């Protein structure tokens, strides 16, 4: 790194809130942000997982704190976010990563299943933005929001994703609208679209078995790892990306080429 770009990828002294950081992609994002100097708030409903992740980060010499929150619960989100702002000040970065990705057969999806998936994957991220952005605006130094959607919004990958795809398309629309309304505050909003990432959530997803021609499509660069997705999040989070908003990066092992 030369003197000209020194600090451009450095997040020292900046607070990052990462949802779903007790597992999988979120845990990878939390680790990479912490290694880049950020104080990372590990937000998840899995309390034991949050405690373990915070302990691991602190043991590695990083700054980290816990936020136990159910992203399907509006009151819990508001309470947890105001406690975090009180403790750490306004965050520089919010990563809306938490998500549920169970599959349901297209013609059997119940309203309750649809609502559960959309509550966590779309409404939750909006509520996190609504709860945290006022403090970011009040501080007046800009900020970053990165939403983790899915490359299912570009092309279906597996069967059974009707609720999931709708929720992730909503999240992409939330990114676009928030980017438009927050640009005057120098808060950028970008989206990462993972596809085929080796995580506990992907391995344990319930639903119909892959079937039909689509199930034979494989990412030519292989299954991604959480840190592959984290690298794209880190890029959007850094001062280096200050002129980039309303953009998206797919981290999907080249799936679009299949
Ligand atoms: N793994 C993939 O192949 C893949 C592909 C595309 C997109 N994604 C997206 O990446 C994100 C992370 O997925 P992952 O594969 O790491 O899954 P994961 O299941 O391993 O991790 C998800 C985390 O979100 C948390 N979470 C779920 N519901 C919550 C709620 N209501 N409140 C708070 N926390 C909650 C879980 O406790 C878990 O720690 C998700 O949004 C997912 O849709 C994953």
Q: Is the CB of 76 under 6 A from ligand 1?
A: no
Nearest 5 degrees, angle CA 126-CA 151-CA 246? 50
Query: Rounded to whole angstroms, how far apart are CA atoms 167 and 244?
Result: 24
Structure tokens at 95: 């990563």
**Average pLDDT for 246-253:** 97
Work out the pLDDT band at 217, boundaries 50, 70, 90.
Answer: confident
Cross-strand partners of 197:
224
Structure tokens at 88: 């750490």
pLDDT of 151 above 70: yes
The pLDDT score that the predictor gives to residue 211 is 64
Domain ranges (residues) in the chain: 15-257
CA of 27 to the centre of ligand 1 (A): 10
Of 97-101, 110-114, 150-154, 213-217, which gets the smallest average pLDDT? 213-217
Atom of ligand 1 nearest to the CA of 71: 32
Percent of the chain with pLDDT over 90: 83
* d(C-alpha 132, C-alpha 93), whole Å: 10
Q: Lay out the sheet containing 64-68: strands in order across.
A: 64-68, 39-44, 15-19, 93-96, 143-148, 187-194, 248-251
* pLDDT at 101 (0 to 100): 87
Could you tell me the sign of the dihedral formed by the alpha carbons of 46, 157, 189, 221, in that order?
positive
Specify the pLDDT at position 2.
40
Question: C-alpha angle with apex 52: 96 to 225, nearest 5 degrees?
Answer: 55
pLDDT in tens, 157-191: 788 899 999 999 999 999 999 999 999 999 999 99
- What's the rounded Cα separation, in Å, for the pair 226 and 141? 29
Q: Which atom of ligand 1 is nearest to the CA of 223?
A: 3
* Measured distance between the N- and C-terminal CA atoms of the chain, rounded to whole angstroms: 36
Q: Is 70 in the pocket of ligand 1 (CB under 6 A)?
A: yes
Is any atom of ligand 1 closer than 6 Å to the C-beta of 219?
A: no
pLDDT at 27 over 80: yes
Average pLDDT score over residue span 82-97: 98
Q: Which residues are catalytic?
A: 164
DSSP-assigned beta bridge partners for residue 190: 146
pLDDT for 40-75, tens place per residue?
999 999 999 999 999 999 999 999 999 999 999 999
CB of 49 shorter than 6 A to ligand 1: yes
Q: What angle do CA 157, 31, 238 make, to 5 degrees?
A: 85
Would the pTM of this model clear 0.85, i.e. be above it? yes
Least Cα distance to 35 among 55, 15, 54, 63 occurs for 63
Q: What is the per-residue pLDDT for 46?
A: 98
- Above 60 in pLDDT, residue 205? yes
Instruction: Give, for 73, the enclosing helix (H) or strand (E).
Output: none
What residue's CA is closest to ligand 1, atom 19?
A: 201
CATH number of this structure's domain 15-257: 3.40.50.720
Question: Which atom of ligand 1 has the smallest separation from the CA of 168?
Answer: 43
The mean pLDDT of 82-98, rounded to a whole number, is 98
Please report, for residues 40, 79, 101, 194, 238, the alpha-carbon distance to residue 174 in angstroms, rounded to integers and kept in the order given.
23, 22, 19, 17, 21
Does residue 218 carry a pLDDT above 70? yes
Paired strand residues for 217: none
Least confident interval from 1-10, 25-34, 72-81, 137-146: 1-10
């Amino acid at each position: 790194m030369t003197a000209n770009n020194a600090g451009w990828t450095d997040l020292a002294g900046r607070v990052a809130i990462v949802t779903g950081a007790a597992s999988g992609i979120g845990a990878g994002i939390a680790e990479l942000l912490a290694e880049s100097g950020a104080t990372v708030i590990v937000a998840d409903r899995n309390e034991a997982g949050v405690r373990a992740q915070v302990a691991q980060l602190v043991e590695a010499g990083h700054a980290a704190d816990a936020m136990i929150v159910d992203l399907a619960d509006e009151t819990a989100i508001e309470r947890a976010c105001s406690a975090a702002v009180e403790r750490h000040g306004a965050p520089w970065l919010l990563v809306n990563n938490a998500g549920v990705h169970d599959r349901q057969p297209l013609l059997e999806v119940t309203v309750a299943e649809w609502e559960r998936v959309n509550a966590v994957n779309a409404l939750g991220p909006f509520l996190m933005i609504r709860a945290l952005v006022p403090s970011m605006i009040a501080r007046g130094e800009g900020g970053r929001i990165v939403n983790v959607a899915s490359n299912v919004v570009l092309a279906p990958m597996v069967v059974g994703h009707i609720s999931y795809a709708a929720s992730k398309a909503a999240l992409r629309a939330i990114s676009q609208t928030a980017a438009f309304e927050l640009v005057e505050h120098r808060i950028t909003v970008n989206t990462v679209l993972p596809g085929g990432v080796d995580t506990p959530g992907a391995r344990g997803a319930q639903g119909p078995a892959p079937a039909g021609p689509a199930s034979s499509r494989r990412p030519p660069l292989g299954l991604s790892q959480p840190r592959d997705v984290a690298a794209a999040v880190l890029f959007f989070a850094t001062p280096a990306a200050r002129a980039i908003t309303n953009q998206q990066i797919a981290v999907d092992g080249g799936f679009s080429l299949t």
